[in-house]
């Protein structure tokens, strides 16, 4: 392929809003073009890389025994209503608009395809003899992302490989899950990603076990918790820590302190000279669900949640313990506590609430400070178990906080935990019977009785693989592509395109490489050498062969890998052989 006959619109300018290196470099290298917020066109270079990622995924999915199909982007909303996910997904689910009663109002664009695939299994998989089966597709997905950013890392339209497995029993699911886990490891390794697999929360997809595949980078928006000795890894939503050591301090008499206008942890600590870790944060939640007919709250009483003052609520953990809750408004808080926001405390509230959820770190506190349930007042020397109940039918003691840096690994090793930014590139789930139960998707087991399918779900973001590869492999000059997903494997640079000998030698090299199955691009533009080299580094082709008048007069050309500084001078024939060998070795 000749550069002058291809389409590589490189540019020196980065988008003004681009902060991620992958966003800047994909635009500058002429790989993508934004059409609208969160919507990108893939230009030829970018599309070549995307297709290579797709080919690797397809090879490994087929190798693992999965079967490819294709499902429609448009889905009937009624399928989502069967599983209750119209509410769970909220605005993420993009619904078509139209006049009342029009077909469009009952149609959505698929952000994922659990409902669609379960409908297929419900229709065609009748017997245990047809199980297990794993069906996958590589297809466009649509999500109502409120704040698309970071180029192709967070978009409203993207390419995804989603696979769904159906099983007779848990043992079969475990076996299928491991096959997918292993396939994902091979996929990310082949794509050149320095990935880690972490325990994860299943989120709106559901299920009882899942792992995310992450690439650590400052451009990531996910938080990963890693032990310094690598014995534990989980995303922040799922991560737990070893129990904190309970205080053995002697309990003091509780007192009340006037704290006018000091409604925040920071303000109270500043006034009283205490630390956030010595305070109890009292948060009031309500159940947002309403009766369908009356519109009255399903659960009229609030839920109180207690965490230490230096800890934050983990909404995913809280959801598992107490269901879908939302923070109460000022009216509810004042009605419950008798005080304005910022002065709530747990003492005296148990009789007035539906449930009190207490994080274990709170149980071990002594002589804590918290709100007095009285505007402009706090109490000191509050002690769990003495001043408010920690065991009652309304009390739930459960881990509902985010892990913080410095916590210890839950494995018991004593290793310190740290928080790191990361990009999620893949996710595997054990769904269980969440969808098959909801959609009444059953098969006849060996005993002749109907049973719900046990399901697994496995997703990979193709666009994110590209961006993560760039985040992991770039320098100040541009992209440094892993060979397996580079748009071209070798770049032949003709420095003097007006010289017949130079062009003849460059073309010969190009043709020899192409004949050997190498993806080769030849820069035949009539531009300065420095300009060509800058573009070469920017687009990141792994191997470069430079043909120039001076070196050719000496009977040599220059061979260089993008990731190194060494330049090797070889005869054109030797350079072709060496480049082919480099490509084959680096493809592995």
- CATH, residue 125: 3.30.930.10
Query: Three-state DSSP class for 351?
Result: helix
Measured distance CA(96)–CA(241) in Å, rounded: 44
Residue 169: its pLDDT value, please? 95
Q: Tell whether 104 and 147 lie within a shared domain.
A: yes
CA 364 to chain centre: 34
Tally of structural domains, the chain = 3
Verify that 434 and 393 share a domain, yes or no.
no
For residue 588, what pLDDT is reported? 75
Judgement on whether residues 56 and 146 belong to the same structural domain of the protein: yes
Residue ending a domain, choose from 408, 436, 470? 470
Residue 475 lies in a domain: no
Residue 302 located in a structural domain? yes
Shared domain for 263 and 376, answered yes or no, is: yes
Report pLDDT for 204. Answer: 52
Smallest Cα–Cα separation from 365: which of 284, 283, 285, 282?
Answer: 282
CA distance between the termini of the chain: 24
For residue 248, being part of any structural domain is answered with no
520-523 and 222-227 beta bridge pairing: unpaired
Helix, strand, coil fractions of the chain, as percent rounded to 5: 35, 30, 40
- Within 13 Å, how many C-alpha atoms sit on residue 396's CB side? 18
Residue 245 lies in a domain: no
Contact 213, 184 (CB under 8 A): yes
Q: What is the C-alpha separation between 247 and 257, in angstroms, rounded? A: 23
What was the pLDDT predicted at 208? 63
Q: Per-block average pLDDT, block size 10, for the chain (588 residues)?
A: 97 91 97 97 98 98 98 96 91 93 94 97 98 98 94 96 97 96 98 95 63 94 95 94 94 96 95 96 94 83 97 94 93 96 96 96 97 97 97 96 97 96 95 95 97 97 98 97 98 95 97 98 97 98 97 96 95 97 92
10 Å CB burial of residue 316 (0-12, 13-18, 19+) is: middle
Helix (H) / strand (E) element for 319: namely helix 315-322
Indicate if 285 and 384 belong to the same structural domain: yes
403 is a domain residue: no
Residue 186, both tokens: 């091979």
* Phi, psi dihedrals of residue 212, rounded to the nearest 5°: -105, 150
38, 148 Cβ separation under 8 angstroms: yes
- Asked if 195 and 78 sit in the same domain, the reply is yes
Adjacency order of strands within the sheet including 74-76: 74-76, 107-109, 94-95
Residues 383, 272 share a domain: yes
- Distance CA(470)–CA(562), nearest Å, equals 13
Q: Cβ contacts of residue 461 below 8 Å, gap of 6+?
A: 158, 159, 160, 424, 425, 426
The pLDDT of residue 298: 84
Q: Any idea what the CATH number is for the domain that residue 552 is in?
A: 3.40.50.800
Residues 272 and 349 in one domain: yes
Instruction: State the pLDDT at residue 547.
Output: 98
User: How many other CB atoms are there within 10 angstroms of residue 178's CB atom?
Assistant: 12
Instruction: Please indicate, yes or no, whether residues 320 and 347 belong to a single structural domain of this protein.
Output: yes
Q: Is 480 a domain residue?
A: no
* Domain co-membership, 268 together with 347: yes
**CB within 8 A of 73, min separation 6: which ones?**
109, 110, 139, 140, 141, 142
Instruction: Specify the pLDDT at position 290.
Output: 85
Whether residue 185 sits in one domain with residue 46: yes
Is residue 408 in a domain? no
Which residue segment(s) compose the domain that 580 sits in?
488-587
Question: Considering the domain boundaries, does residue 67 fall inside one?
Answer: yes
- Give the distance from CA 123 to its chain's centroid: 32
Alpha-carbon distance 227 to 1, whole Å? 48
Query: Which CA distances in Å does 80 have to 75, 109, 440?
Result: 9, 11, 13
Q: Does 583 lie in the same domain as 448?
A: no
């Amino acid at each position: 392929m000749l550069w002058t006959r291809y389409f590589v619109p490189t540019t020196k300018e980065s988008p003004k809003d681009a902060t991620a290196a992958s966003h800047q470099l994909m635009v500058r290298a002429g790989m993508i073009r934004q059409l609208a917020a969160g919507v990108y066109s893939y230009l030829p270079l970018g599309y070549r890389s995307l297709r290579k990622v797709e080919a690797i995924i397809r090879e490994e999915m087929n190798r693992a025994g999965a079967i490819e199909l294709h499902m429609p982007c448009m889905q009937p909303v009624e399928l989502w209503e069967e599983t209750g996910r119209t509410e769970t997904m909220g605005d993420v689910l993009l619904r078509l608009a139209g006049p009342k009663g029009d077909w469009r109002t009952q149609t959505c664009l698929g952000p994922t395809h659990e409902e669609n695939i379960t409908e297929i299994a419900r229709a065609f998989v009748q017997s245990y003899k047809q199980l297990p089966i794993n069906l996958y597709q590589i297809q466009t997905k649509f999500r109502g992302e409120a704040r698309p950013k970071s180029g192709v890392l967070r978009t409203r339209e993207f390419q995804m490989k989603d696979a769904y497995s159906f099983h007779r029993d848990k043992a079969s699911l475990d076996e299928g899950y491991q096959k997918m886990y292993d396939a994902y490891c091979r996929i990310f390794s082949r794509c050149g990603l320095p990935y880690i697999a972490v325990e994860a929360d299943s989120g709106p997809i559901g299920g009882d076990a899942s792992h995310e595949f992450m690439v650590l980078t400052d451009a990531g928006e996910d938080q990963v918790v890693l032990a310094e000795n690598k014995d534990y890894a989980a995303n922040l939503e799922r991560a737990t820590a070893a129990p904190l050591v309970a205080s053995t301090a002697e309990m003091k008499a509780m007192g009340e302190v006037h704290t006018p206008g000091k409604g925040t942890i920071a303000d109270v600590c500043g006034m009283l000279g205490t630390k956030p870790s010595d305070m109890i944060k009292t948060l009031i939640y309500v159940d947002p669900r309403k009766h369908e007919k009356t519109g009255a709250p399903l659960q009229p009483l609030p839920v109180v949640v207690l965490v230490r003052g230096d800890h934050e609520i983990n909404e995913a953990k809280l959801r598992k313990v107490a269901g879908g809750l939302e923070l109460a408004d000022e009216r509810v808080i004042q009605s419950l506590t008798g005080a304005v926001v910022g002065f709530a405390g747990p003492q005296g509230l148990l009789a007035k609430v539906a449930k009190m959820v207490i994080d274990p770190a709170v149980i071990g506190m002594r002589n804590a400070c918290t709100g007095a349930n009285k505007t402009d007042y706090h109490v000191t020397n509050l002690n769990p178990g003495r001043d408010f109940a920690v065991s009652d039918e309304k009390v739930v003691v459960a881990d509902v906080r985010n892990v913080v840096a410095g916590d210890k690994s839950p494995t018991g090793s004593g290793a310190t935990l740290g928080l790191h930014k990361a990009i999620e590139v893949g996710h595997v789930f054990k769904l269980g019977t969440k969808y098959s139960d909801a959609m009444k998707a059953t098969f006849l087991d060996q005993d002749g009785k109907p049973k719900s399918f046990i399901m697994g779900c496995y997703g990979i973001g193709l666009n994110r693989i590209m961006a993560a590869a760039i985040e992991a492999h770039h320098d100040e000059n541009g992209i440094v592509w892993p060979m397996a997903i580079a748009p071209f494997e070798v770049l032949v640079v003709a420095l003097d395109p007006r010289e017949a000998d130079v062009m003849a030698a460059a073309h010969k090299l190009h043709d020899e490489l192409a004949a050997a199955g190498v993806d080769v691009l030849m820069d035949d533009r009539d531009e300065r050498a420095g300009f060509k080299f800058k573009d070469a580094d920017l687009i990141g082709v792994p191997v470069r062969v430079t043909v120039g008048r001076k070196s050719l007069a000496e009977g040599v050309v220059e061979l260089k890998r993008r990731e190194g500084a060494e330049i090797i001078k070889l005869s054109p024939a030797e350079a072709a052989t060496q480049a082919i060998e480099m490509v084959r070795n680096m493809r592995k």
